[in-house]
Structure 1
Amino acid sequence: MDVLSEANRREKAGEDIIHMEVGQPATPAPRAARERVAEAMAKERLGYTEALGLPALRERIARHLKERYGVSVGPERVVVTAGSSAGFVLTFLAILDHGDAFGLPSPGYPCYRQILKALGFQAHLIETGDQGRWMPCAADVRALARSGAAGLLLASPSNPTGTMANGLRLKELAEACEYEKLWLVSDEIYHGLEYDIAAETALAYSDVAIVVNSFSKYFSMTGWRVGWLVVPEAMTRTIERLAQNLYIAPPTVSQIAALGAFDGIEELEEIKDRYARSRALLLEELSRAGLSKILPADGAFYLYADVSHLTDDSAAFAKAMLHDIGIAATPGVDFDPDRGRSYLRLCYAGAESEMREAARRITAWLKAR
């Protein structure tokens, strides 16, 4: 956010800034979503919905899970939330007691640990590495159990690395969590944005896993703040009571837009194709420029670049990049307070033309250093 603030300040001053710092699509919500909202605005009152969300949307999400993954989940297990952020708050409050620790792979999305901290819980960081594609393993789950942690949060595809728990990894993690009687919370917010192998849902391997998802990324609806949970049926009432007190209900207009978004899949797939082209371009051009230590991202729209041969202070490096060539990127310390000083995250969700220009600027800048 500090990088974004400075980038916006420079942009207002007339500088040509390319935004690669914030993980959001450059495209609006799909046309079908916007049309559904326009119709509702003209005809409906748009009052509160049920705390768990519009029944029609809960049913449509359940259908989506069947269509995409082949898993059958009843709509009574689906909870509509005010974005995935509210989903994490509700989940942690429902399953943890004050002071409990929860396992988080590192590097990882920084808000996980900050939400835990704000709610009176503890983050138990699990150091992952590029050799394991930045993913935890079953041995990490066993270590969590020995430490007394209550569970594991897994993001696949991951922010910031874009890597996934492929093959047997997700199955092994789900089985290990169940064996150790730990909660498995699966962040699937970047599902739909995969480039070679389709992402799997934790629901395929566990009936007690909690899934967190959102319309923000694949559905290109970040500002609408609407997401969903899939929880064990026995937990639904607990989540409902929490949601009633904390949020009353998710935003009605956003839920209506979400219903429409499911009719925009063809448009969304075209957007994903643009991401794939930008990903391929950046991997090739940045490697030529000397940033060759990047695992080809399986999904999402990020590259997590090792810049240790250039700096041991990624925050200063990002600041210099913004100052010198107008490229806003996120320092790795956001995602890994220790090793992140040697990494930089680049988001390629912007326009293809901007990504080509970004590659040109970065290449010229690195060659001149």
Structure 2
Amino acid sequence: MQKKFEQLYKLDSKGKTRVWFMEQDGAKYRTHDGILGGTVKASSWRTAKATNVGRSNERTPIAQASFEIDAAYVKQLKGAYYDNVADIHLGCRYTEPMLAETYKSFEPGDAQPKLDGARCIMKAAGGFSREGEALPGAAHIRAALDAIFEKAPNLMLDGELYNHELRENFNELMSLIKKGSPPAERAAEIEATIQYHVYDIPSMVGVPWEARRDKLRALIKAINHPSIVYVEALPVNTPEQFDELHVHWCGAGFEGSMFRKRDGLYEQGKRSKNLQKRKDFDDAEFDIIPGGIEEGEGNWAGAAKRVICWLPNADRSIDLSDDKARKANTFEAGLRGKYPANAKLFAERDQHKVVTVRFFGWTPSEIPKPRFGVATKFHGAARTL
């Protein structure tokens, strides 16, 4: 029997009212999303699988579907969605960072290296992810900023929790960042490992980038703390200058480069042309199929070695044991990282539903798939970093 859950509403960046709700049919569930009074589209059906089979906390497929629906509603109601359409003017309940457009054409501006860490909005109340989740691994960063927040309690910083030496083992870095109050023996490790690389000041509303940049540079210099790092912004006045910096940063192990318009404002919660990302590869988030984090063999036994994901327009009601149907609706990505982190990932495989995959375009086949995909970030039940 199909069940339709309550509708939620939010105001989008174009001033239109969006509606969102979910629907369940036994172990299957799907999402509806669109413009109130206009087109509302339904996603493909997803089929939940039993979890923790044989344990005291076992869930049947139907119970698991209900659990995942409840979790989706909790997430939406933490952000910009409301159950009363009259409340949508209140906006998002947390500070949303400005997101980057894809770089397409050159104009004079500033360039920065593109990091591959965990986005972090730092406020007097602590460090928060791009989805508004508290980041326990940032507690020592917040403590290092005590004097600044005492003088400016409304200050907000935007940056990433990152360590360039751990760039090839993102999951290990994330495990340190997302942990709750760490045991005493790990507190020192976290403090020595996790740095805050800062690149903007969202609280300087209506102020052009050039002024925010100069203020940030002076602020980080005054803080003078080894865990607080200013992300240098360099002027680029010709395409050749930007190309040279981009190649240099990619060669140094960065993800790419960022371009900033010198007169650009900080646009919270928007994908803005004032901030543009330049990469030599694609990346996107994909849903993991049930049991899709697979174990390696030989020296990699006991550790995750590959992940199987749904293609964007997959029929999720298929029988995954049918090889033909599986190949038509899924793709495989490899994993980066060392054995200890991947062993931990495999042990916690049931917790992860969403993954970011880095790839080099799509195959030209009848069913296009990501080419040379490598999973880089696992996000649990939903993206929070």
- TM norm. shorter chain > 0.5: no
**Under a length normalisation based on structure 1, what TM-score does the superposition of the two structures give?**
0.24
More strand by share: 2
**Under a length normalisation based on structure 2, what TM-score does the superposition of the two structures give?**
0.23
User: Of the two structures, which has the highest relative contact order with CA contacts closer than 8 Å and spacing of 6 or more?
Assistant: 1
More helix by share: 1
Question: For the pair shown, which has the larger CA radius of gyration, 1 or 2?
Answer: 2
